[in-house]
A and B are shown apart, each in its own frame.
Chain A
Amino acid sequence: MGQPRRITDSFPRRLRRRGPGRPPGKLKDKKDKKDKDKVQVKVEDCPRSASQPAPDPALLEMLRHFDLSWEYGPCTGITRLQRWERAQELGLSPPGPIRDALLEHRDNP
């Protein structure tokens, strides 16, 4: 099937710009990434990440795994770093590399 002409070819879909104080690593961004895969639509990346190298897919996979693991409690509404700190305080021993990765890319989801 050929590439049908869509309105999104002329008006590419942009990710909604959020405020500058947005904390990194929110679940909403993960969902957007999933939508990106499903729908064949040109998406413009956030201008922020254009200036940094693209994040490592293996790292993203690790972070996604961390989000979905049920032992550390619900993942919605709090940043990944907050969730990691909470798991640490409750004694659930979350994996250390996750924290290092989160601190390295503090402003990047």
Chain B
Amino acid sequence: MFSEQAAPTAQGLLAPPSGEPPTFPRVPVSGYSDCSQPFQLGERSFSRQYAHIYAVRLAGMRPGLERRARSRWGKDIALRKLSELQAGEKCCVVGTLFKDMQLQPSILQEISEEHNLVPQPPLPKYIQPSDELILEDELQRIKLEGAIDVQRLVTGTILAVYGSEQEDGRFLVEDHCFADLPPPLPWDGPSSDRFVLLASGLGLGSVSGEALLSTQLLVDVVTGQLGAEGEQSCAAHITRVILAGNLLSQNTQSRDTINKAKYLTKKTQAASVEAVKMLDEILLQLCTSVPVDVMPGEFDPTNYTLPQQPLHRCMLPLASAYATLRLVTNPYQANLDGVRFLGTSGQNISDIFKYSSMDDYLEILEWTLLAGHISPTAPDTLGCYPFYKSDPFILTECPHVYFCGNAPHFQSKLLQGKEGQRVLLVTVPDFSATQTACLINLRDLTCQPITFSGFGADSED
């Protein structure tokens, strides 16, 4: 797509430079509005407990789930609370899932065994065949068994189960359903080709500098300094660049200096200082030419709990002088040219990956959309701010593009919903490992990867 447009134009790189080099004005920015206000924290009071966020989540998603349950299993099914259950009666219950996992790292277990217990090493997946699912509503909880995939589901999901209570106190599930896709947003996309570049995991500050060449190539393509006039005119159609997290590499997170003696570490500075300076220079090159949205990620210097607040502009002195730089939250939601983007830097998806049998990042991404919640594991295994008024991670409207950063590979899928929703699901790969970024065409919601390899064929396909 991108390179097909480039090919037919006349001049290749092997022709002598023309006398009057043509200039390609970038497609003007139109229709940007930032919709991520719910993710920006005003006051930060951590004196609250997390029970509030679960209560609000259940109360907020209950009406939608009740509607879905009625439409699926009949209008006159009995919707009961757990306290009203009678043995043997077929009914539907709406509640929060809790998955009881043996291998789940628990701080209480670590400190209870008289300090002799070695803390459990981090595993890639914490699932086990002996895990159990428990459904909780406002007052009670009950164990679930039956036609429900214990390994696949994670704690914190709100769902509706249909079945009956057994004599031994467990609930036998015959069918279950999630909130399904939220109501669609009207489509107001552009009529001509407009591209948005999504990249994540730039990984600056890592020990090896291999990815630096690819990063520089990326910047050069976007700013139009690479390729013949064909590629340059295509690059002029890129209206925005979104960097979805992990701008710094994991190596900058090493905390060895804390364990060493003070006299040894006096003159060393944190690795992230140098990395942020590099980031500033790269962003400066990008910002002179294209609007950039920078989302923080797992290893970036901002808060750990979700929603991560934007990086502070004092860290990027050169680039923040430009108005084209926008430092945004993680998760991030915005309207670009009438197309609603929603995405995260990947912490929610990788957390679900650890506690579920689902292996494919795209499958997990699709599942979170169908479950109606960006990050169901949020207070349980992923750090989260203790909201009390409303849960901003509940999906109330269906975005047009739903992405997650720092995935192992690039994958994309166009999902069609029953009420006319069209969502493009994109898993943006880690740039420092795969040197691949994604180009999304806003006109027809298609997506293609663009790879910048240092050696071998310089392919843009």
- A residues near B (Cβ < 8 Å) are 70-71, 73-74, 76-78, 82, 85-86, 89-92
Contacts and interface: CB of A to CB of B under 8 A. Distances in A.
B49 A74 contact: yes
25 contacts: A70-B138, A73-B51, A73-B55, A73-B56, A73-B138, A74-B49, A74-B55, A76-B49, A77-B47, A77-B49, A77-B52, A77-B388, A78-B48, A78-B388, A82-B388, A85-B389, A86-B56, A86-B388, A86-B389, A89-B389, A89-B390, A90-B56, A90-B59, A90-B60, A91-B63
A27 to B, nearest CB: 12
B15 interface: no
Interface of B: 47-49, 51-52, 55-56, 59-60, 63, 138-139, 388-390
A72 B328 CA distance: 33
Contacts of B60: 90
Contacts, number: 38
Nearest to B389: A86
Contacts of A77: 47-49, 52, 388
Given A90-B59, A92-B59, A74 B390 contact: no
Contacts of A70: 138-139
A82 B59 CA distance: 16
B61 to A, nearest CB: 11
Nearest to B58: A73
B51 A74 contact: yes
Given A71-B138, A89-B389, 4 more contacts: A73-B52, A73-B56, A76-B49, A77-B48
Contacts of A71: 138
Contacts of A73: 51-52, 55-56, 59, 138
B79 to A, nearest CB: 16
A74 B52 contact: yes
A90 B47 CA distance: 23
Contacts of A89: 389-390
A32 to B, nearest CB: 18
